[in-house]
Structure 1
Amino acid sequence: MIFTTTPDVPGREITENLGVVVGNIVQSKHVGRDFMAALKGLVGGEIKGYTEMLADARDLAIERMVAEAQRRGADAVVNIRFTTSAIMANASEIMAYGTAVKLK
């Protein structure tokens, strides 16, 4: 499966638009990570536990979006975008979305 943030796939022609596909995950914080984040907040720097958590969540959102595109018979997903939102004090949503297409 090809997936890209561009509106087309270089060298390929889009023959059919199969609609918007979405993958999302709501990720909550871990108490241990919160403790380490609080300590890191005192001295500054990257909070690697959160960086890893969000990277994993983003990857899972992409996997879910691609799985939906595959169920529709798509060859690719174009114009992929990401969005995040706070669901509650300790949880955030990461959503990946794009347009599922058939290619020639």
Structure 2
Amino acid sequence: MLMSTTDVIIGKDIDETLGLVKGNSVQSRNLGRDMMAGLRNIVGGEVKEYAEMLARSREIASAAMVEEAKRLGANAIVGVRFSTSSVMDGTSEVLAYGTAVKLKS
């Protein structure tokens, strides 16, 4: 599945627009990550535990978006965006969304 943050894919023509597709992932913090993050907060530096958690969330959300696009018969997704939010204290949501399209063969 081709994915692009732009509204077109250079060298490809869009034959049909199939509609909005999305996928999301909600992850919660855990005690081990919180303890390590607290220590990093004191000494400074990247909070790798949370960066890894968000990277996993992006992958899960992207995979769900791709599956929805496949169900529509798409072979590409254009205008891909990611959004994050806090659902409740201690949790993060990553939303991936874009427009499912069929590219000309």
TM-score (norm 1): 0.98
The question of 1:3 aligning with 2:24 is answered no
1:52 aligned counterpart, secondary structure: helix
Cα distance in 1, alignment partners of residues 73 and 47 from structure 2? 39
* Matched residue type, 1:58: R
The question of 1:22 aligning with 2:22 is answered yes
Query: Cα RMSD between the aligned structures?
Result: 0.6
1:88 aligned counterpart, secondary structure: coil
The 5-angstrom pairing of residues 16-55 of structure 1 reads: 16-55=16-55
2:34 aligned counterpart, secondary structure: helix
* Matched residue type, 1:85: S
Q: Corresponding residue for 1:80?
A: 80
Q: Corresponding residue for 2:97?
A: 97
2:26 aligned counterpart, secondary structure: strand
Cα distance in 2, alignment partners of residues 103 and 37 from structure 1? 44
Aligned length: 104
Shift of 1:35: 0.6
Shift of 1:9: 1.1
* Matched residue type, 1:86: S
TM-score (norm 2): 0.97
* Matched residue type, 1:63: A
Unmatched segments (≥5 aa) in structure 2: none
